Chains A and B, each alone.
Chain A
Amino acid sequence: MSKMHVKMTVNGKPVEGLAEPRTLLIHFLREDLNLTGPHIGCDTSHCGACTVDLDGKSVKSCTVFVAQANGAEVTTIEGIANPDGTLHALQEAFREHHGLQCGFCTPGMITRAHRLLQENPNPTEAEIRMGISGNLCRCTGYQNIVKSITAAAEQLASMKEAAE
């Protein structure tokens, strides 16, 4: 099986590699780029553990072939923290509000919430729940995840206000 040459920007850095066409984006990220933040939960698009940003939209990287991401911009959980290495407001809020227990869903949950807050910086609780409905968590019962995202939205809004 011939491999194809793929190039993309991942977390702001240009990357390239050789991959079989049947390689899923999640496998390329984890196995070729060693970005093991996005997790493999179900391989069938149900669980959302593999959620990444692809050209500014949340997608499940287990249902995208790496060939389809050729030339794209990808953001994974590894690209969410602030440039100085401190935690992003969402990561901080998940820590503060106990938004995770086992942590398996957390990278997908935060990556999804990160995009949600860019699309809707001031979401209602219902909008948060609908926005993360493609991400499953088997530990928390979601309550603390919703609380974390709400807190992060408030924090980001006050940071924005302070900057203006």
Chain B
Amino acid sequence: MKPARFEYVAAKTVAEAIDARSSFDDTVILAGGQSLIPMLNYRVAQPDAVIDINRVPGLDTISVDNGAVRVGALVRHRQLELSAEAFAAHPLLREALDNVAHIPIRNRGTICGSIAHADAAAEMPAVLVCLDGFVTAQGSGGERNVPASDLFLFHMTTTLDSDEIITSATFPALPKGSGYAFEELTRRHGDYAVAGICAVITPGPDGNCASASLSACGIAEKPVRLSAVEAALVGTNLSDDAVSAAAALVDDMVTNEDDGAGGRYRRQVARTLITRAVAKACQRAAQGRA
């Protein structure tokens, strides 16, 4: 038997799951389980209770509203990846999802679960940060929306209360006239990223950069917004030199130095991915206008 003993609670409603969270000292929510179950197998996590929300009705819906995409807590990565409606409204999501593990994992793993797990190298939290998205969480105190900028605290840690459950995540629409890209480098396809960059660039009528939104995963203790890079890009003509100069400002954000990718290497990777992502985003914005 791999995991340590736990009470198993098969919640039938969100309210039941919230009650169960308050009834035990240490609980975890089981949605897709693709990060949680390995942690239980390794006994890195030894909760008193595992609260399975897989049989809670209504949490598996994707809703598209004016270009924004809201995914319920049980929407699997693969379900969102294959949703034609979500792709038509928000193609960035599929591009990012293509980098999430591999198909059997994406068949089970959920977007909200990945966000709640908050691995600093995971893709979808970085996308949520780039788009200024939010999660909707329910707890004993009621329901609230938590913006991505207030959600991620540290690697595998969010600011949510211990009785709260993420019921959906909302990815706001791409701005009109913008281009997008998600670029990452992994040692093996499907692995967590050495670094990943999410970029949304909106050129103005003069072709100069009117607004830029960039985030990164893998480079720090949580998914981060690259505000210095964004500020340096806005107003430039987005030439190779301008983008390279802006990309160099990522250096100060790179704090993750694991054995496989030291700081100097990771900074170089992050710079390169930024230049690739911005180039791709600009190209797409230009195609969109044409």
| From B2, B8, B34, B52, contact of A24 by CB (8 A) | B2
Whether, in the assembled complex, A143 has its beta carbon less than 8 Å from a beta carbon of chain B, the answer is: no
Name the one of B8, B102, B108 contacting A67, with C-beta atoms under 8 angstroms.
B8
Instruction: Please tell me if the beta carbons of A131 and B33 are within 8 angstroms of each other in the complex.
Output: no
Is B10 in contact with chain A by the CB < 8 A criterion?
Answer: yes
Q: Measured between alpha carbons, how far is A64 from B37 in the docked complex, in Å?
A: 7
B6 near A22: Cβ-Cβ < 8 Å: yes
Q: For residue B102, which residue of chain A has the nearest CB?
A: A134
Any A CB within 8 A of the CB of B144: no
Instruction: Say which size band chain A's interface belongs to.
Output: 20 to 34
Interface of A: prevailing SS? mixed
Q: Is A9's CB within 8 Å of the partner chain B? A: no
Given contacts A64-B33, A65-B33, contact A133 B38 (CB under 8 A): no
For residue B50, CB closer than 8 A to chain A, the reply is yes
1/0 contact string of A34-66 vs chain B (CB within 8 Å): 000000000111001001000001111011110
Nearest Cβ in chain B — how far from A119, in angstroms? 9
Nearest opposing residue in chain A for B39, CB measure: A44
Within 8 Å of chain B (Cβ to Cβ): is A162? no
| Interface contact A22-B101, CB-CB below 8 Å | no
Contacts of B1 in A (CB 8 A): 20, 22-23, 27
Inter-chain contact B50/A21, CB cutoff 8 Å? yes
Asked if A102 is at the interface of the complex by the 8 Å CB criterion, the answer is no
**Residue in B8, B34, B107 whose beta carbon sits within 8 Å of that of A58 in the complex:** B107
Cβ of B263 within 8 Å of any chain A Cβ, yes or no, is no
Q: Is the CB of A63 within 8 A of B33?
A: yes
Per the bound structure, the CA–CA distance linking A152 and B10 in Å amounts to 41
Known A-B contacts A21-B50, A134-B102; the reply to A59 vs B107 at CB < 8 A is yes
Q: How far apart sit A21 and B10, CA to CA, in the bound complex (Å)?
A: 10
Residues of A within 8 A of B38 (CB): 43-45, 63
In the assembled complex, 15 residue pairs joining A and B whose CB atoms fall closer than 8 Å, in A order, are A22-B2, A23-B1, A27-B2, A43-B2, A45-B38, A58-B107, A59-B107, A59-B108, A68-B30, A68-B54, A130-B102, A130-B103, A134-B101, A134-B102, A134-B105
Beyond A22-B4, A58-B107, A133-B102, 20 additional contacts (C-beta under 8 Å) are: A20-B5, A22-B6, A23-B1, A24-B41, A27-B2, A44-B42, A48-B104, A57-B104, A57-B107, A63-B41, A63-B108, A64-B37, A64-B108, A65-B8, A65-B52, A67-B10, A68-B54, A130-B189, A133-B190, A134-B102
What are the 6 closest A-B residue pairs judged by CB atoms, nearest first?
A21-B8, A134-B102, A44-B38, A63-B37, A58-B104, A57-B107
Where the two chains meet, the residues of B that have a C-beta atom closer than 8 Å to any C-beta of A are: 1-8, 10, 30, 33-34, 37-38, 40-42, 50, 52, 54, 78, 101-105, 107-108, 189-190
Residues of A within 8 A of B (CB): 1, 4, 20-24, 27, 43-45, 48, 51, 57-60, 62-65, 67-68, 112, 130-131, 133-134
